[in-house]
Structure 1
Amino acid sequence: MPDKEQERLATDLRAALSQLMRHLRVASSDGEFTPSQRAALSRIETDGPATIAALARAELVRPQSMRLTVGALEERGILVRSPHPTDGRQVVFSLTAEGRRLIDAVRQAKHNWLAVAIADRLTPEEQRTLAEATGLIRRLTQE
């Protein structure tokens, strides 16, 4: 059972990580996507082309909701539909070249903001401490 100090550390860490994520979203065009759009894009980027049903199951939302999410991304030219390779009744959605470019740009903007913040706001000693903390955070998130 965690003691008071561990509880406080957990609260502080969660708050700091939430604030970091907000800064990263603001630093990039990621803010132009809804959370469900970001989730669908991430899933397709990681797992490859997917049907509406597969995306909905993976994200624990209703297919109707995912259809709206994917439809908005398709309208913007970020996703494209194509016939399902084995089931002619279905379609799969994949990233377009524009979608890939946008994801890469978002990722680069986040990286740039973070690298500049580290360089400008932290001393070399603090940067070493952050490197150690990064390793610890990785250990916390390993399953």
Structure 2
Amino acid sequence: MDFAQADAINQAIRLLSLRHRARTATLLAPLGLHPGQEALLLELARTGPMIQAQLSEALGCEPPSVTLMTRKLEASGHVRRGPAPSDKRASVVELTDSGRALVDQVKRIWCALAEETVSGLPAETVAELPGVLGTLTGNVDARRRRDDR
């Protein structure tokens, strides 16, 4: 691949990431949420209560980030933390009734954001996007794991 093509690909991914996050922040602000918190709420809605370390792995972010998000969401009354039955040092995070109600609003915002993002694309391309983006993520993750050795 030559530099021009590499630059075009990397710039497109970078700009999409930045603008998607900014748009996410705008849409979540009326709910009192910040980007990343919606993913945590959606993950808990999908899986049920989880240990913070598992939540960190599922979200693909560092444990201190999950701890901070969890504390803020707990202060807002959307999640609660308690000791894990198998390890009193670990915390289990679960949605509260308030958090479950908020998830419904987040799902509506998530759908609207996805529709905005893929507007104008053919349905076939939209159907292929999760697989293509998953492959890109897997490629970067595999390389990062090799580099960490």
TM class by shorter chain equals 0.5 to 0.7
What residue number does 1:132 align with?
Answer: 125
Does structure 2 conserve the Cα–Cα contact (< 8 Å) formed by 1:78 and 1:99?
yes
1:30-66 deviation per Cα after TM superposition (whole angstroms, max 9, x unaligned): 87334564454355345432344x2586332349x81
Does structure 2 conserve the Cα–Cα contact (< 8 Å) formed by 1:25 and 1:110?
no
Superposed, which structure 2 residues align to 1:33-44 within 5 Å? Answer: 33-35=33-35, 37-38=37-38, 40-44=40-44
Cα distance, 1:79 vs. partner? 0.7
What residue number does 2:134 align with?
Answer: 141
- Percent same amino acid at aligned positions? 21
Q: State TM-score, norm by structure 2.
A: 0.59
Cα distance, 1:80 vs. partner? 2.0
What residue number does 2:145 align with?
Answer: none
Change (3 A) 1:97 1:29: farther
Is residue 61 of structure 1 aligned with residue 63 of structure 2?
yes
* Structure 1, gaps ≥5 residues long: none
Change (3 A) 1:73 1:140: closer
Change (3 A) 1:79 1:89: same
Is residue 24 of structure 1 aligned with residue 24 of structure 2?
yes
What residue number does 2:79 align with?
Answer: 79
Cα distance, 1:85 vs. partner? 3.3
> In 2, distance between residues paired with 1:61 and 1:83?
16
Cα distance, 1:103 vs. partner? 2.1
Would you say how many aligned residue pairs link Structure 1 and Structure 2? 133
Change (3 A) 1:70 1:131: same
Q: Which has the larger radius of gyration?
A: 1
What residue number does 2:143 align with?
Answer: none
Moved more, 94-103 or 17-26: 17-26
Q: State TM-score, norm by structure 1.
A: 0.61
- CA RMSD in angstroms comes to 3.8
